[in-house]
């Protein structure tokens, strides 16, 4: 049995050098409630297709690492309960035990790189949590960016994280953090984090070329592209700040930690904003899927 299964459209695109965009599944199972999660997953795939690329949503289904899901598989995953959340540490165990799990940014990067997919679009990455000096809670996503050669398009780090510490760790790990089209670091639901991004680029072609340069230099790892949420969908920082503070306080009070923390915070913010955070979340993921597809097209067009 082969290590992973490519869907027919993904296999075809990879064989012909056509652009492919990897998509994660934890955002479906742990990041959004049913049925908006399925709607989002379908729309993201459609957005990638509309830009002329092939979407490859990644998950482990009954032990098989699947790269590219069909609609029935997407729907089943979106409805499933108690699906495992798979990061680098969990992938092998889930596959060995024949179980089903959703891939985080880290695990999706690993699968994408295995299949030869160079670009991956998502919402937000994991990072350094607030209070990490006590909890040591730093997402494995950051280490993955340092070692796996995939360009990850996100909307910046979630404002539930400690953004200055997240940038410091990424700098230590040698990960390029590139704001797209602006100097400021975007902060997921808000266009600006109040922090300058380490790097800025203004075109998909330049981002594709930078990835190729990294490879040519023999540098391992990927790039993090932070694409600001469209202005029409943004929730301003001052509106969110008290909501995030409240969500973090609730998490602490209820002793939520480890893998459960990010899903808990997202759900709590969804409740506290009466669904507005989810609408923004969906819009920013679609926006990232579009840019991801454009970057994938530029990578396909680079001279071999």
Q: Which residues bind Mn ion (CB under 5 A)?
A: 137
Q: Decide whether 137 or 234 has the Cβ nearer to Mn ion.
A: 137
Q: Does 82 carry a binding-site annotation? A: no
- Any catalytic annotation for residue 274? no
206 is annotated as contributing to ligand binding: no
Choose, from 158, 192, 290, 298, the residue flagged as catalytic: 158
Least gap, CB of 32 to ligand PSU (angstroms): 7
d(CA 75, CA 63): 18
Q: By the 8 A CB rule, do 247 and 160 touch?
A: yes
Decide whether 160 or 289 has the Cβ nearer to Mn ion. 160
Give dist(CA 21, CA 27) in Å, integer: 15
In the bound complex, what is the minimum distance in angstroms from residue 188's beta carbon to ligand PSU? 7
Distance of closest approach, residue 87 Cβ to Mn ion, in angstroms = 8
Residue among 124 and 186 whose Cβ is closer to ligand PSU: 124
Distance, in Å, from the CA atom of 299 to the CA atom of 247, rounded to the nearest integer, reads: 40
The partner in contact with residue 104, picked from Mn ion, ligand PSU, none with C-beta cut-offs of 5 to 8 angstroms by kind, is: ligand PSU
Compute the least distance from the CB of residue 52 to ligand PSU, in Å: 25
Residue nearest to ligand PSU (CB): 31
Please classify residue 275 by burial: count the beta carbons closer than 10 Å to its beta carbon, then call 0-12 exposed, 13-18 middle and 19+ buried.
Answer: exposed
Separation between Cα atoms, residue 293 and residue 276, nearest integer Å:
26
> Residue 257 has which token pair?
């930690």
Residue 85 marked in a binding site: yes
CB 147 within 8 A of CB 184: no
Nearest residue to 74 via CA among 10, 120, 23: 23
Instruction: Please report where in the chains the tokens 């989810």 appear, as a residue.
Output: 278
Q: Which does 124 bind (CB under 5 to 8 A by kind): Mn ion, ligand PSU, none?
A: ligand PSU
**Pairing state between β 54-61 and 64-67:** antiparallel
* Site residues (vs ligand PSU, CB under 6 A): 24, 26-27, 30-31, 104-105, 123-126, 139-141, 259, 262, 266, 281
Is 290 designated active site?
Answer: no
Annotated binding site for Mn(2+): 137
Cite the active site residues: 24, 158
């Amino acid at each position: 049995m082969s290590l992973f299964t490519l869907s027919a459209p993904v296999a075809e695109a990879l064989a012909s050098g056509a652009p492919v965009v990897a998509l994660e599944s934890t955002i479906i199972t742990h990041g959004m409630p049913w049925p908006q999660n399925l709607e989002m997953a379908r729309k993201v795939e459609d957005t990638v297709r509309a830009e002329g690329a092939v979407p490859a949503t990644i998950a482990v289904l009954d032990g098989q690492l699947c790269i590219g899901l069909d609609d029935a598989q997407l729907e089943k995953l979106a409805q499933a309960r108690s699906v495992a959340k798979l990061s680098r540490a969990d992938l092998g165990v889930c596959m060995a035990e024949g179980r089903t799990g959703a891939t985080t940014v880290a695990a999706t990067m690993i699968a994408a790189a295995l299949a030869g997919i160079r670009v991956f679009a998502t919402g937000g990455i994991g990072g350094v949590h607030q209070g990490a000096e006590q909890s040591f809670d730093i997402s494995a996503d950051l280490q993955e960016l340092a070692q796996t050669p995939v360009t990850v398009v996100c909307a910046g780090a979630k404002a539930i994280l400690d953004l200055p510490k997240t940038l410091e760790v990424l700098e230590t790990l040698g990960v390029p953090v590139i704001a797209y089209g602006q100097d400021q670091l975007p902060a997921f639901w808000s266009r600006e984090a109040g922090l300058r991004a380490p790097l800025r680029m203004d075109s998909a072609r330049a981002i594709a070329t930078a990835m190729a340069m990294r490879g040519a230099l023999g540098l391992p790892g990927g790039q993090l592209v932070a694409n600001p949420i469209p202005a029409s969908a943004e929730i301003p920082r001052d509106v969110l700040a008290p909501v995030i503070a409240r969500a973090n306080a609730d998490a602490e009070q209820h002793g939520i930690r480890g893998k459960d923390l990010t899903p808990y915070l997202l759900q709590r913010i969804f409740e506290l904003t009466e669904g507005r955070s989810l609408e923004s979340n969906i819009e920013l993921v679609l926006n990232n899927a579009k840019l991801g597809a454009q970057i994938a097209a530029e990578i396909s067009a680079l001279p071999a």
